[in-house]
């Protein structure tokens, strides 16, 4: 399964998380679960050639840094947090990006395009 380039990893993560919540976590407490949306920052100040690396503002400190915004949807029952879906976001503004996407890489797989 790990070598399949067409595997839908987002769906897999949601299904595994839903199974863990329903079978193992929910019966442990009598509390209802909640969905939490978190937009943390992912700092990559030492990186130089990471695809879509951007200048991002941390709204809690007001400082700018190299990295990504990490958007996470998770489930919690006040004692456990389980991520359901997550995504690293770059800057929409081209001037704030340090590295653009590599056009030779097929975006549907982790394998390089026709040249390989």
pLDDT tens per residue across span 12-64: 889 999 999 999 988 888 888 899 999 888 888 888 788 889 998 888 889 98
Q: Which long-range contacts (CB under 8 A, 24 or more apart) does 84-87 make?
A: 84/13, 84/14, 84/17, 84/18, 84/35, 85/10, 85/13, 85/14
Q: Has residue 109 got a pLDDT over 60? A: no
Q: So what's the pLDDT on residue 116?
A: 42
Q: Has residue 93 got a pLDDT over 80? A: yes
Q: Has residue 107 got a pLDDT over 70? A: no
Task: Give CA angle at 35 (30, 64), nearest 5°.
Answer: 140
Q: What is the DSSP letter of 105?
A: B
Q: Which two tokens stand for residue 39?
A: 């937009």
d(CA 33, CA 79): 10
pTM for the whole structure? 0.70
Task: Report which of residues 61 and 109 the model is more confident about.
Answer: 61
d(CA 105, CA 82): 32
Structural domain boundaries in the chain: 9-96
Q: Which two tokens stand for residue 66?
A: 């190299």
d(CA 41, CA 90): 11
> Strand pairing of 34-43 and 64-76?
antiparallel
Q: So what's the pLDDT on residue 108?
A: 65
Q: So what's the pLDDT on residue 31?
A: 82
Q: So what's the pLDDT on residue 112?
A: 45
């Amino acid at each position: 399964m790990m070598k399949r380039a067409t595997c839908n990893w987002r769906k897999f993560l949601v299904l595994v998380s839903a199974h863990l919540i329903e079978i193992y976590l929910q019966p442990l407490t009598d509390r209802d679960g909640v969905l939490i949306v978190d937009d943390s920052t992912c700092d990559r100040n030492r990186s130089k050639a990471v695809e879509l690396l951007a200048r991002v503002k941390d709204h809690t400190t007001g400082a700018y840094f190299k990295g990504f915004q990490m958007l996470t949807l998770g489930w919690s029952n006040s004692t456990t947090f389980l991520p359901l879906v997550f995504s690293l976001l770059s800057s929409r503004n081209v001037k704030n990006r340090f590295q653009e996407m590599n056009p030779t890489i097929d975006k549907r797989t982790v394998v390089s395009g026709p040249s390989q």
